[in-house]
Amino acid sequence: MRVIGLTGAIGAGKSEAARILAGLGAAVIDADAEGRRAYAKGTIGWRRLVELFSSGILDEEDEIDRARLGGLVFANPQALAWLNAAIHPLIRDRVTQALAERGAQGTAVAVVDAALLYQAKWDDLADEVWAVSAPPELAMARLAARGMSEEDARKRAAAQGDPGEALRRADLIIENTGSPDDLEANIRRAWEERILSLG
């Protein structure tokens, strides 16, 4: 099984790229979704976060309220570091298990979709890394179109660290400066050149 690590800064278009790759036949493992499962009510991750940040991060059903948690960590680098140290190992375990399951099922290509692929040191799970790239002003405009405030968008972008790191280290940069059709064409080209050509 060939494993692609897919990353990109917030607003760059990584999630859309993952959707396109799924349409091409890849099994997409969403690290963000695995993160939500890693701190679902009653799990080890849930207990760790409540110990770190108190029961004030819980909603009426005692689930982690992502908005409250985000409000705490995206404004406080130390709190973000605590969150990552508590949860990233649990997410890695879940992603590793998901990859093993896909491999056992005979999946040909799997994608690990993770904004923090390099920051969390999950890039070693992939055979190669594709980074989706867009100019910061375009990324911010896309986030605003989704209803995210500029302040929130900038906090979340800052929490992801240096976006240039992924672009410097990736095996392939997928430019997303045009239309959705342009992005799909770029990904299809990469799929043909880097996946289908290998047989």
Pairing of strands 172-175, 27-30: unpaired
Range from 33-42, 121-130, 135-144, 187-196 carrying the lowest mean pLDDT? 135-144
pLDDT reported for residue 186: 96
pLDDT by residue (tens digit) across 154-198? Answer: 888 887 878 788 889 999 999 999 999 999 999 999 999 999 887
- Rounded to whole angstroms, the Cα distance separating 94 from 40 reads 13
Q: In the predicted model, what is the mean pLDDT of the chain? A: 94
Compute CA distances 73 → 11, 117, 155, whole Å. Answer: 19, 19, 9
Residue 139 has pLDDT above 80, yes or no: yes
* pLDDT above 70 coverage of the chain, percent: 99
> Got the DSSP string for 7-52?
EE-TTSSHHHHHHHHHHTT-EEEEHHHHHHHHTSTTSHHHHHHHHH
pLDDT reported for residue 112: 98
pTM: 0.91
pLDDT reported for residue 150: 84
Residue 84 has pLDDT above 80, yes or no: yes
2-198: CATH class: alpha beta
pLDDT reported for residue 199: 58
Q: Where are the domains of the chain?
A: 2-198
Q: In 42-106, which residue ranges form alpha helices assigned H by DSSP? A: 44-53, 66-73, 77-104
